[in-house]
Amino acid sequence: MDAKDANVTNALRGAEMSARDRILHTASELFYRDGIRAVGVDTIVERSGVAKTSLYRWFPSKDALIAAFLEDQDRRFWLWWDKVVARHPDAPREQLRALLAGMVKRLANPQYRGCPFMNTAAEFADADHPGRVVARANRDEMRRRLKVIAGALGAADPARLADQLLLLVNGAYAAAQVLGSAGPQQELIDAADTLIAARLASPAASS
């Protein structure tokens, strides 16, 4: 292959990757705004400006596209989490407060339509659905990371404290989705502080 042919090949590959990105970006916006079941493949094709054959080249089925959407959301979420934690090295209490503050800020966004992982789990009852599998993995990972923070805080039962913090987070997500700015999600940080103080002051309560 000469240089000219190589340039043409690279341009074609770039165009294909651009098509994939457009498909995923369009699907992500529509899935999040309107709900996954409400959005058909034809709508995604029309809005993204790509051919249906191109969509199916990258995503063999709508379920595969749903999984890719959530995997991208998952990747972005943990990149954000790691960046926040890195700002407060060896300070688990400040790490947690910063994470919760970031979540509350997201919940205040006028474009907030709920947690994409919780939304997907609500839409698909089948535990083996590709989207639900990614959603479950996201919450399992959050549970694990909260347990690490709880352990660093000195909790007698880090797993139990992590589960209680996870319930607070999920409750804040749900409250903001249903009640909007009038919801109690602003209490997330104070509720977490109160819970942690109680657990650390009374280790026996965790047993």
pLDDT digits (tens, 9 = 90+) for 127-163: 999 999 999 999 999 999 999 999 999 999 999 999 9
pTM of the complete model beyond 0.75? yes
Joined together, the tokens standing for residue 35 give 């709900």
Same-domain pairing of 109 and 143: yes
- Please, what's the b/e burial string for 28-39 (b: 16 or more CB within 10 A of its CB; e: otherwise)? bbbbbeeebeeb
Task: Determine the pLDDT at residue 2.
Answer: 53
Task: Determine the pLDDT at residue 57.
Answer: 94
Joined together, the tokens standing for residue 108 give 């205040």
Number of domains in the chain: 2
- Which value, in Å, is the radius of gyration of the alpha carbons in the chain? 21
Task: Determine the pLDDT at residue 204.
Answer: 52
Task: Determine the pLDDT at residue 183.
Answer: 86
Same-domain pairing of 184 and 107: yes
Determine the Cα–Cα distance for residues 142 and 140; give it in Å rounded to an integer.
5
Same-domain pairing of 54 and 74: no
Res 10 pLDDT > 80: no
Residue 10: domain span: 1-60
Among 44, 60, 76, the domain-final residue is: 60
Determine the Cα–Cα distance for residues 98 and 104; give it in Å rounded to an integer.
10
Mean pLDDT for 81-103 is 97
Same-domain pairing of 112 and 16: no
Q: What percent of the chain is modeled with pLDDT above 70?
A: 89
